[in-house]
Structure 1
Amino acid sequence: MASNNALASSYNNNIRPLLDAVDRLRHLKLTQEGIQLPTIVVVGDQSSGKSSVLESLAGISLPRGQGICTRVPLIMRLQGDSDSTEPSLHLEYGDKTVPTSEDEIAAAINTATVEIAGAGKGISGKPITLVVKKKSVPDLTLVDLPGITRVPVQGQPSDIYEQISKIIMEYIAPKESIILNVLSATVDFPTCESIRMSREVDQLGERTLAVVTKSDKAPEGLLEKVTADDVHIGLGYLCVRNRVGDETYEEARDEEERLFKSHSLLSQIDKSMTGIPVLAERLTQIQASIIAKCLPDIVKKIDEKLNQSVSELNSMPQNLSTVADALPALQRCLTSTVQNSPRTAQLQMSSS
């Protein structure tokens, strides 16, 4: 136990500052400047069990209901806090920071979603950030996206599939993104739309990890499905059992451990591929690896953007105290803008 605590302390001291730095860059909307950030993106077809996996990792209850429950990207920042006796939760969206609690978090997310995406069943690409500081949660940042649905229900836009696809592709296309693909054991993996989307941007599966939910509902043939890997999941499979009914998260984990240990079929799956605790450990390892890989390039790109901005600022005319000084400077700016515009370049190519 002492060695585990020392390992956790070392991880927190070394990795958490990097996670905090990445989150601050995300708040600064760095992606709008063309700089991508390392991100674990959670995708899955509707009713795949995506929310259950996230709830198990965070130990909290997320909004539930019919249709699409996640209507905006939800950035979940989990922070393990061994010193605090009470969990601390808050939401960040727009210019707001809203404290909440474990009992009220689902309602708070729903309220924030309505403010962003409206009271109907539409979706929006504007994110909500949920910060959870709590004992026994892994230090992770995950982005949960709307579940994929092809057929709009009453109240949803007719192009709901296209809208959801656009948001998902924006998050999973960058090479800095790790795709956490949530699949139900009850379906054929090759038919899952989330698999089709992830293969479109990650053909070899080199940055795709699959979580198979509802293992207890369809144990027959599951071992063959996760070992054959017909859909190229390069980072491997993790099989889990969802929390059932009024089980506490601790009870659910005990039942999960018992299931994969004693079930005649599921016990044959390697223990390195089963359980929420193994998933949490795997995700933290992947997250640390991708941050270490991407940060040097991110720093380089930030420096380049900063130098470019400083250069543009220095090129601006100084001490414009009169209209007579300002007019020539304005003319030069307008001329430069026109000369550098795509339309001007196109006309120049046409004429040549």
Structure 2
Amino acid sequence: MATLNSLKINATHVEDQMISLTLTQEEAQPKAAVAPLFLAYHDRIRPLLHAVDELRHLKIMEEGIQLPTIVVVGDQSSGKSSVLGSLAGVNLPRGVDICTRVPLIMRLQHHPTSEPELHLEYHGQIVPTDETHVAKAISVATNEIAGNGKGISNTPLTLVVKKKGLPDLTMVDLPGITRVPVHGQPEDIYEQISNIIMEYISPKESIILNVLLATVDFSTCESIRLSQCVDKTGERTLAVVTKADKASEGLLEKVTSDEVNIGLGYVCVRNRIGVESYEEARREEARLFESHPFLSEIDKSIVGIPVLAQKLVQIQATSLEKCLPDIVKNINQKLSLNVSQLNKLPLHLSTTAEAIAAFMRILGSAKESLGKSS
């Protein structure tokens, strides 16, 4: 009953927060050169996003109620961790093998103070961490969830990052797609990963962030094939093209011809290199797209991590505005149904006679139900 009450409280809270998320023309215009990644309207979207995060924490999706979610997919070594690390401003686990072995729910939040706050949530516990140790903490938590080998698990791990200048975003990073198992991985690793990805991207409320390497033919990417299975027209798919500096010639044509139906468009980015700070990496990225003979021809509205951050926040706001009325309605319907079922249960029984009478009523209902089904 406590969970039902929590759902009721959250449904009311979401309904109370039904404010317009329509952006002004100035807010909606991506600006590659802005210093912070967050938008001026984060105070408007944060209460709604917080309410949705709370509903996700209550495992409402297990009740068949879908929540708007940005789902990050990509082939192994496509640069997912680099992109997400740049959005979060923290170092995530990286390597040549599969690094993301569980669904990683990333909750990013602009923090007004200069001191960041980070923690992990899994197995019912909250584990504080910091920018220096977050990658190690994620690896330790992943091992606790999925084991010390190279296998994967569908049990999620949540990373909360509160830091000045971050965009207000909640994303789910999924394991990178690999077709050939390496030593220590189960033989059906591809099927396991594909099943997890399809579970997350199939709901129409999901926004798919497809991470693609600039150096490959987009049509050959397995992540594109999977996303097209559930979103043929690409109306809820956004693509981020990584390592733009490694395949600059012809990149403009690849992102403008759009042969793989990316309905929400492309954003080209430069990956952070070596020990660069995130601020240095953004300056180098801005310089690259401004001065490179080929990359400078790409429209500035589709290049850079700041543009990606703003696009994601805008897409998320639109999705929240569209989905929340149905979420509230579905919660209330589910709550009414559960309360009705609870009310049909017998009251506190104090005597043997009352217990026998209640049992006979239940037995009678069961016989009636079986009679109708036969």
Out of 330-339 and 216-225, give the one that drifted further.
330-339
Matched letter for residue 243 of structure 2: K
Partner of 2:107: 77
Summarize the Cα distance change of 1:14–1:156 in structure 2 as closer, same or farther, 3 Å threshold. same
The structure 1 residue matched to 2:62, chosen from 13, 28, 32, is 32
Aligned positions of 1:37-76 closer than 5 A: 37-76=67-106
Q: Give the alignment partner of residue 163 of structure 1, picking from 189, 192, 206.
A: 192
CA contact (8 A) 2:210 2:238 kept: yes
Structure 1 runs of 4+ off > 4 angstroms? 334-341
List aligned pairs for 1:85-234, cutoff 5 A.
85-234=114-263
Following the alignment from structure 1 to structure 2, what is the Cα–Cα distance between the partners of residues 61 and 277?
17
Tell me the amino acid that sits aligned with residue 249 of structure 2.
E
Residue 326 of structure 1 deviates from its aligned partner by 1.9
Within 2, Cα distance between the matches of 1:278 and 1:112?
31
Paired residue secondary structure (2:179): coil
Identity %: 69
- When residues 331 and 212 of structure 1 are mapped into structure 2, their CA distance, relative to the original with a 3 A threshold, is farther
State the one-letter code of the partner of 1:171: Y
**What residue ranges of structure 1 are gaps of 5+ in the alignment?**
none
- TM-score, length of structure 2 as denominator length: 0.87
Q: Which amino acid aligns with 1:55?
A: G
**Of residues 41, 51, 54 in structure 2, which corresponds to 1:11?**
41
- 1:334 deviates by 5.3
CA positional deviation for 1:324: 2.6
Amino acid at match of 1:150: R
Contact 2:71 2:173 in 1 (8 A): yes
1:309 aligns with 2:309: no
Mapped partners of 1:31, 1:324: distance in 2 = 41
**One-letter amino acid of the structure 1 residue matched with residue 77 of structure 2:** S
Distance 1:254 1:75 in 2: 28
Q: Give the whole-Å Cα distance in 2 for the aligned partners of 1:66 and 1:196.
A: 23
What do residues 4-51 of structure 1 show as CA deviations (whole Å, max 9, x unaligned)? 99xx68623211000100000000000000000000000000000010
Give the partner amino acid of 2:281. A
Where 1:216 maps in the other structure, the secondary structure is helix
CA contact (8 A) 2:75 2:178 kept: yes
Secondary structure of 2:97 counterpart = coil
Rounded Cα–Cα distance in structure 1 between residues aligned with 2:364 and 2:225: 47
In structure 2, the CA distance between the partners of 1:9 and 1:145, relative to structure 1 (3 Å rule), is closer
Q: Secondary structure of the equivalent of 1:85? A: coil
Query: How many angstroms does 1:322 deviate by?
Result: 2.1
TM-superposed deviation, 1:339: 6.4
Distance change >3 Å, CA 314–CA 241, structure 1 → 2: same
Q: Note if contact 2:39-2:167 (Cα within 8 Å) is conserved in structure 1.
A: no
Indicate which of 328, 334, 358 corresponds to 1:299. Answer: 328
Report how far residue 329 of structure 1 moved.
2.3
Given the alignment of the two structures, is residue 255 of structure 1 paired with residue 284 of structure 2, yes or no? Answer: yes
- Tell me the equivalent position of 2:352: 323
Contact residue 71 and residue 207 of structure 2 kept, 8 A: yes
The root-mean-square deviation of aligned C-alpha atoms, in Å, is: 2.0
Give the deviation of 1:169 after TM superposition.
0.6
3-state SS in 2 of match to 1:150: coil
Cα separation, partners in 2 of 1:339 and 1:178, compared to 1, 3 Å? farther
* Shift in alpha-carbon separation, 1:258–1:10, aligned structure 2, 3 A: closer
Q: Which amino acid aligns with 1:119?
A: N
- Show CA shifts across 1:187-236 (max 9, x none): 00000000000000001000000000010000111111100000000000
Amino acid at match of 1:267: S
Q: CA deviation at 1:338?
A: 7.3
Q: 1:38 corresponds to which letter in structure 2?
A: P
Distance 1:330 1:164, change over 3 A: farther
- AA of the residue aligned to 1:70: T
**How far did 1:81 drift?**
1.1
Kept in 1: contact 2:39–2:310 (CA 8 A): no
Alignment pair present for 1:242 and 2:292: no
1:153 deviation in Å?
Answer: 0.4
Q: What are the Cα deviations for residues 281-304 of structure 1, in whole angstroms up to 9, with x where unaligned?
A: 100000011011000000000000
User: Structure 1: how far apart are the matches of 2:205 and 2:369?
Assistant: 30
The letter for the 2-side match of 1:31 is M
Which region of structure 1 is more displaced relative to structure 2, 295-304 or 12-21? 12-21
Q: TM-score, normalised by structure 1?
A: 0.93
How far did 1:105 drift? 0.3
Q: In structure 1, what is the Cα distance between the partners aligned to 2:191 and 2:168?
A: 33
For 2:21, the equivalent position in structure 1 comes to none
Instruction: Please tell me the residue identity of whatever aligns with 1:26.
Output: R
Task: State how far apart, in whole Å, the 2-side matches of 1:274 and 1:131 are.
Answer: 26
Shift of 1:86: 1.1
